[in-house]
Amino acid sequence: MKLKLSALLLGTSIILGACSSGEEEEATGETTIADAETITQQSCIGCHGQNLGGGSAPPLTEVGAKYSKDEIKDIIINGQGGMPSGLLDDAKAEAVAQWLAEKK
């Protein structure tokens, strides 16, 4: 019974490990750039709007034209204006900052 369970768990792990979206992902710690859009949808749209076009907080659609990746990450980690600090951990902040910095 233990052997069957171990084989099942190993097989499942291999299959799940082989699954991929087919997109090339760039790793930043434990979080990938491909995850950045999902993280943003979960954590930022409440204030920055559904399409990041602004809401109760400024739009982020062209934030990369105003701030560098490091400046965006600093804002995410430390907050700015009405935005509180500590909304994302370091790895997620890095991924989101890199993704947002490309929006120009």
20-70 pLDDT, tens per residue? 443 434 444 567 777 999 999 999 999 999 999 999 999 999 999 999 999
CATH number, domain 27-101:
1.10.760.10
Domain definitions of the chain by residue range: 27-101
pTM of the predicted model as reported, rounded to 2 decimal places = 0.69
Q: What are phi and psi of 18, to 5 degrees?
A: -80, -15
